[in-house]
């Protein structure tokens, strides 16, 4: 009888918690890559651009546009790959003489080739965080796990100067897109970058594991990882899709989060540490995320290394779009069990074909109505908010922005 009463009390408290969550607006978290605004043409002035992304005025104009979504939390991207956009000492060039021939320059719009965020008169990232604070909003970083954004020109100076720490395939082919955290030197470098970010006093650091530049456990056959495997199992490492290998690699990444958590715990005020991933299906897709992103996300939650998880996209059923979405959301909530915050997607990007455009096609609803439904489901399962990935110029349509604005100002 006592156990039954205890169970009823716990259940009632859970219901009260969900009800209280339902009474307050969801936290709307906007991810901003201000580089994406660099080549937005001015329809009134052919050959001119709407935003000068290398100036303080341009960043303020970008923030004005982002805030049309009603976002209360704005997370600014601090880099392209590992080319930092603030005045970094850890990833700065010692000297420039012409073009670095180790770096491939893709032929894009002229403005893209010539942006120099790390050398601008104003430290644009630090300045943008200050602008967000001035508006009374929560500021922070959207920090992808990647060290290259799928292009050679995004390789940072540390990466170029330290090929001995590059990734490695099982066949022994070097992979230059990332320096492996299995090397203590590379881990120490990455923590120094984290220190630079924390010096700017963000309220949130959101590590996006989906943006990995092509990295995965398949390129972690570096000597420290292989030696650790052999010492433990006495065999050669298995193929990269072997879950046991992915779990082995994830231990190193888990250590990275442990070090981040320890660093952040010393900050005053302490920033929130969030981690994002996709695609997530029924049961939380732990193994799929592990293979693709190198993290064991339920273990991060269980070990209390993160303040929140951000589900950036879900693998919903085309025949049951909203019903299956609700089921996936509920599975994630059940796995987290109140141990951390949880955010679900309102995704304008459609690279994985699970965003607003795909929902609209499957349901026949407008994107604005789809947004209303997703917000409703997010509230009903008791999650903390939604993530907008990524807010570019006009990619969130007016009807979507209205639904988000109405949620942010709901009383």
Q: Is 257 left (phi over 0), alpha (psi -120 to 50) or beta?
A: alpha
Q: How many CB atoms lie within 10 A of CB 175?
A: 18
Predicted confidence at residue 11, as pLDDT, reads 44
Q: What is the pLDDT along the chain (411 residues), one digit of tens a residue?
A: 444 444 444 344 444 444 445 578 999 999 999 999 998 999 999 888 999 999 999 999 999 999 999 999 999 999 999 989 999 999 876 445 455 666 655 555 555 656 778 888 899 999 999 999 999 999 999 999 999 988 877 888 899 999 999 999 999 999 999 999 999 999 999 999 999 999 999 999 999 999 999 999 999 999 999 999 999 999 999 999 999 999 999 999 999 999 999 999 999 999 999 999 999 999 999 999 999 999 999 999 999 999 999 999 999 999 999 999 999 999 999 999 999 999 999 999 988 999 999 999 999 999 999 999 999 999 999 999 999 999 999 999 999 999 999 999 998
Please check whether residue 86 is in contact with residue 118, taking contact to mean a CB–CB distance below 8 angstroms: yes
Count of CA atoms in the C-beta half-sphere (13 A) of 206: 31
Query: Cα separation of 131 and 59, whole Å?
Result: 9
Please check whether residue 369 is in contact with residue 311, taking contact to mean a CB–CB distance below 8 angstroms: no
For residue 317, give both structure tokens.
């059923």
Indicate whether this model's pTM tops 0.75: yes
Please check whether residue 359 is in contact with residue 283, taking contact to mean a CB–CB distance below 8 angstroms: no
- Residue 299: is it exposed, middle or buried by C-beta count within 10 angstroms (0-12/13-18/19+)? middle
Predicted confidence at residue 105, as pLDDT, reads 54
Predicted confidence at residue 14, as pLDDT, reads 43
Q: Is 234 left (phi over 0), alpha (psi -120 to 50) or beta?
A: left
Output the CA torsion sign for 179, 182, 184, 188.
positive
Quick one: fold of 29-408?
A: TIM Barrel (3.20.20)
End-to-end, the C-alpha distance of the chain in Å comes to 40
Residues 6+ apart with CB under 8 A from 179: 147, 158, 159, 162, 165, 166, 167, 186, 189
CA angle (403 as vertex; 398, 404 as ends), nearest 5? 95
Residue 356 φ/ψ, nearest 5 degrees: -60, -40
Query: Cα separation of 254 and 262, whole Å?
Result: 12
Alpha helices in 266-340 (DSSP H): 286-293, 297-302, 321-336
Query: Cα separation of 252 and 266, whole Å?
Result: 22
Count of CA atoms in the C-beta half-sphere (13 A) of 375: 23
User: Looking at the DSSP assignment, which residues form a beta bridge with residue 206?
Assistant: 142, 274
Residues 6+ apart with CB under 8 A from 142: 31, 32, 33, 75, 76, 77, 78, 206, 208, 390
Please report, for the chain, the start and end positions of each structural domain, with discontinuous segments joined by +: 29-408
Please check whether residue 295 is in contact with residue 277, taking contact to mean a CB–CB distance below 8 angstroms: yes
- Residue 94: is it exposed, middle or buried by C-beta count within 10 angstroms (0-12/13-18/19+)? exposed
For residue 340, give both structure tokens.
């951390």
Q: How many CB atoms lie within 10 A of CB 187?
A: 18
Query: Cα separation of 338 and 31, whole Å?
Result: 24
Query: Cα separation of 264 and 195, whole Å?
Result: 9
CA dihedral 170, 174, 177, 180 (to 10 degrees): 70
Please check whether residue 286 is in contact with residue 293, taking contact to mean a CB–CB distance below 8 angstroms: no
Count of CA atoms in the C-beta half-sphere (13 A) of 321: 18
Output the CA torsion sign for 9, 10, 16, 20.
positive
């Amino acid at each position: 009888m006592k156990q039954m009463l205890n169970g009823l009390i716990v259940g009632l408290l859970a219901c009260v918690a969900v009800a209280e969550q339902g009474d307050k607006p969801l936290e709307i978290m906007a991810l901003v890559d201000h580089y994406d605004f660099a080549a937005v043409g001015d329809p009134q002035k052919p050959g001119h651009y709407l935003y000068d992304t290398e100036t303080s005025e341009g960043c303020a104009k970008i923030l004005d546009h982002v805030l049309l979504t009603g976002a209360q939390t704005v997370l600014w991207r601090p880099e392209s790959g590992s080319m930092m956009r603030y005045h970094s000492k850890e990833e700065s060039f010692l000297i420039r003489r012409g073009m670095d021939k180790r770096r491939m320059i893709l032929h894009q719009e002229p403005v893209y080739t010539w942006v120099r965020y790390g050398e601008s008169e104003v430290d644009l990232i630090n300045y943008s965080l200050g602008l967000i604070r001035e508006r009374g909003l929560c500021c922070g970083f959207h920090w992808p796990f990647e060290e290259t954004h799928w292009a050679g020109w995004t390789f940072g100076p540390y990466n170029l100067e330290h090929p001995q720490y590059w990734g490695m395939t099982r066949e022994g082919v070097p992979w230059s897109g990332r320096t492996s955290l299995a090397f203590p030197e590379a881990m120490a470098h990455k923590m120094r970058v984290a220190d630079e970010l924390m010096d700017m006093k963000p309220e949130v650091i959101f590590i996006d594991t989906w943006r990995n530049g092509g990295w995965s456990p398949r390129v972690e056959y570096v000597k420290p990882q292989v030696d650790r495997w052999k010492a433990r199992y006495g065999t050669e490492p298995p193929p990269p899709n072997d879950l046991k290998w992915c779990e082995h690699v994830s231990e190193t990444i888990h250590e990275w989060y442990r070090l981040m958590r320890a660093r952040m715990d010393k900050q005053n005020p302490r920033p929130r540490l969030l981690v994002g991933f996709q695609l997530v299906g029924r049961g939380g897709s732990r193994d799929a995320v592990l293979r693709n992103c190198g993290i064991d996300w339920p273990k991060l939650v269980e070990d209390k290394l993160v303040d929140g998880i951000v589900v950036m996209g879900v693998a919903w059923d085309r025949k049951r779009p909203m019903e299956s979405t609700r089921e996936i959301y509920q599975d994630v909530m059940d796995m987290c069990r109140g141990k951390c915050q949880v955010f679900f997607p309102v995704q304008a990007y459609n690279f994985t074909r699970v965003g607003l455009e795909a929902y609209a096609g499957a349901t026949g609803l407008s994107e604005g109505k789809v947004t209303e439904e997703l917000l409703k489901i997010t509230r009903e399962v008791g999650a903390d908010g939604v993530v907008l990935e990524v807010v570019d110029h006009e990619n969130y349509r007016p009807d979507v922005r209205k639904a988000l604005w109405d949620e942010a100002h709901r009383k």
